[in-house]
Amino acid sequence: MTTMRCVVVREHGGFDKLRLEERPVPTPLPGQVRVRMQAVGLNHLDTWVRRGVPGHTFPLPLVTSSDGCGVVDALGAGVTGLAAGDPVVVLPGVSCGACEACQQGQDNLCRSYHILGESCDGTAAEFVCVPAANVAPKPRALSAQEAASICLVFQTAWHMLVRRVELHAGETVLVHAGLSGVGSAAVQIANVLGAQVIATAGGAEKCAKVKALGAHHVIDHRTQDVAATVRALTGKAGVQVVFEHVGAQTFDTSLKVLQRGGRLVTCGATTGGNVSLSLHAVFFKSLSILGSTMGQKGDLRQILRLFDQGRFRPVLDRALPLAQVGDAHRLLEERQALGKLVLTL
């Protein structure tokens, strides 16, 4: 095979801007591996790349998507420890590997850090070449479709809860949108860490699925007052930690439900990034507001082991053919998915 199919964004806009194109099959450079992709996971990042973000420039044209699973197809010069046919997942964050941050294991703080499908070509292609450091063994118990859905969201949620707010056993955490990709990961991680998990979801079906993931209490944000319900559940004390990624729609509530000394960690703003903030509340209650982007490769390898041990499980809604990428984006934007969406090749 000399050519391959891939999903490309050449200009920002609607679903019609997702083009299915043919390109030459890439040749791995020294230090790279070529992966024949079997499944590609979608994230909200994909929709932002397609629509565009005010004030941010994406290097268009761009092959989309950050997550994926497949088999090693070819090795570049100097690559060891891998062989053709190895089933692998693609790790979405790429760094230089040589700077101080990388050598300290904090590769997500590397000045040249970038995410596949955001600042360089991503995984939505039949063949992908990535640095050898950006593949890891696929968890044995997972199908390719399941494995394609886990890396970015679990890496992000782990870094937020373990590294940034240092969630402890016995603490209570509020997780917004508990059936979203990053939310469903956070529910499971917080549960494994021994925290009490309060999560939100929209509608009875989503609430039931979040409960099955291990949330101790689930609040239907469509019919219940989130702040009042959290206060009732915690005896008016509030929570120690809020896991925030929704943004403008939930941020005020997130601050209200934090107890004194509470910590809020955020990785995104799907409903808008402009929020109001009273500094009086921050310093009177000794609150910590922490930002977080992606996470460390070493942590992701630990996460994959926890999948192998059965401690975590993927939350997969459905798989669609690569040619239906527009339908997948629509499902994401309309919040119709009950879990992660995957494209198959």
> Helical H runs in 72-219?
100-103, 144-147, 151-158, 181-192, 204-213
CA 191 vs. chain centroid, Å, equals 18
According to DSSP H, which parts of the chain are helical? 44-51, 100-103, 144-147, 151-158, 181-192, 204-213, 226-233, 251-256, 279-284, 297-308, 325-333
User: Rounded to the nearest 5 degrees, what angle is found at the Cα of 143, between the Cα atoms of 179 and 324?
Assistant: 65
| Low-confidence winner among 186-200, 236-250, 251-265, 267-281 (lowest mean pLDDT) | 267-281
pLDDT at position 342, please? 98
Helix (H) / strand (E) element for 37: namely strand 32-41
Average pLDDT over residues 190-206: 97
pLDDT digits (tens, 9 = 90+) for 15-24: 999 999 999 9
Cα distance between residue 167 and residue 173, in whole Å = 8
Beta-ladder partners of 18 = 9
For the chain, what are the domain ranges?
3-150+314-344, 154-291
For residue 79, the model assigns a pLDDT of 97
Q: Quick check: helix, strand or coil at residue 305?
A: helix
Q: What is the mean pLDDT of the chain?
A: 96
Q: Region 256-275: what's the mean pLDDT?
A: 94
Q: What is the CATH number of domain 154-291?
A: 3.40.50.720
Superfamily of domain 3-150+314-344: Medium-chain alcohol dehydrogenases, catalytic domain (3.90.180.10)
pLDDT of 63-91, one tens digit each? 999 999 999 999 999 999 999 999 999 99
pLDDT at 335: 87
* Residues 151/116, Cβ–Cβ less than 8 Å: no
